[in-house]
Amino acid sequence: MTDFVEVKTKAAAEKAIKAGKGLQIIAGSFSLTLANISVPIVVTGSADPILILEGTSAPSIVTRGTSAPSIETWGASAPSIETWGASAPRIVTRETSAPRIETWETSAPSIVTRETSAPSIETWGTSAPSIVTRETSAPSIVTWETSAPSIETWGASAPSIVTRETSAPRIVTWETSAPSIVTRETSAPRIVTWETSAPSIDANGFSYVFTQGGRLAGKASPNVLLRIRGGAQIVGGQQFHINLSTNYDWCEYYGAPVEADGIVVLFKGVDAEYRSGHGGDYTPGTMPEADKWDGGKVECSHGLHWSPTPQHSYEFCTPARYIAAPHHIDDLVIHWDGRYPQKAMTRATAGPVFEVDIDGKPIPVEVQP
């Protein structure tokens, strides 16, 4: 059994390695390069070292607590990396490295695969890693239990993605990437395809698949439930096609009730001073109006931008507060084939802004005269 030495500095870490000891990094921010070295490493507490693995290094690395190390794998290195607790390491795999990465509990690592690297990535527990594949990397990604990873494929990357048990990954494919996606058991992936990406799918078990975009192709077994929005070409399964073309369709789909007079309440996330990320003032009691308005011709341009629920606003910001305002349904501009079809644009509100909680329930506030 390897003896571990607690370290807080680069000098202490290098001394322990020379002695053949394992490292337990309990604090500190320092950079450590390991070339052809395979000592076990545990990162705990709030430590955030930078670990660079070169050559044929194959250490065992475990991150725990709230640690946030940066880990880079180069050359033919093949470390084993496990993330636990609330740790949030940043992991980048490069060249021909082939690390084995497992995410557990509530850990939320950021994983980027580059060049021709081929890591093996497994997500477990309630972990929620962000995984981005680039260039010609070819990672193997398997999602288990109730994990909910966010997976983006870019460049000419060709990852193999297998979703299992009750995992619910969100998969977005870009550029010329060509991921292979296999769903099993009762997993529930959400797949969005863009540009000329060409993902394939083999859906099995009682999995539930939502897909948006026209690039996905493949097959599904009889008990698979498919919700298809766009032109995906999938053979088999129980298919339900989502066709949205009117503002009423949009409101019904996203759960925004429309009153008899055509009024619908929409939401926005703002900071503690009721300002948007672009500086717009949404103080309760006011009636915001766009300084410039081109009829909503450009998706992310002039105008006021709204979400159908307070929860949807998390896609655009980290709100300190939530506000709501009434709008007439005919005034909504929606980009059906845009990047954010879940967003509506308006020139102005149809009534005063008011504050709400995360569930959309009004919060009484004192309106300034």
DSSP-assigned states of every residue in 85-124: TT---EEEE-TT---EEEE-TT---EEEE-TT---EEEE-
Separation of alpha carbons 344 and 368, rounded Å: 28
Question: Are the beta carbons of 269 and 314 closer than 8 angstroms?
Answer: yes
| pLDDT, tens digit, 9 for 90 and up, residues 156-193 | 999 999 999 999 999 999 999 999 999 999 999 999 99
pLDDT at 366: 64
Domain boundaries along the sequence of the chain:
4-241, 247-356
Question: Are the beta carbons of 42 and 80 closer than 8 angstroms?
Answer: no
Give the 3-state secondary structure of residue 313. Answer: helix
> Which residues of the chain, if any, have pLDDT below 70?
1, 365-369
Separation of alpha carbons 112 and 73, rounded Å: 11
Give the 3-state secondary structure of residue 251. Answer: helix
Residue that has been written with the tokens 């084995």 in this structure: 100
Q: Which pTM does this prediction carry?
A: 0.87
Question: Are the beta carbons of 23 and 39 closer than 8 angstroms?
Answer: yes
DSSP state of 9: S
pLDDT at 367: 55
pLDDT at 254: 94
pLDDT at 369: 57
pLDDT at 23: 96
Question: Are the beta carbons of 116 and 97 closer than 8 angstroms?
Answer: no
pLDDT at 301: 83
Of 329, 157, 316, which Cα lies nearest the Cα of 249?
329
**Cα angle for residues 149, 166, 237 (degrees, 5° grid):** 105
pLDDT at 166: 97
pLDDT at 143: 97
DSSP conformation letters of 13-27: HHHHHHTT-EEEE-S
Q: What is the CA radius of gyration of the chain?
A: 24
DSSP state of 10: H
pLDDT at 149: 97
Of 253, 262, 255, which Cα lies nearest the Cα of 309?
255
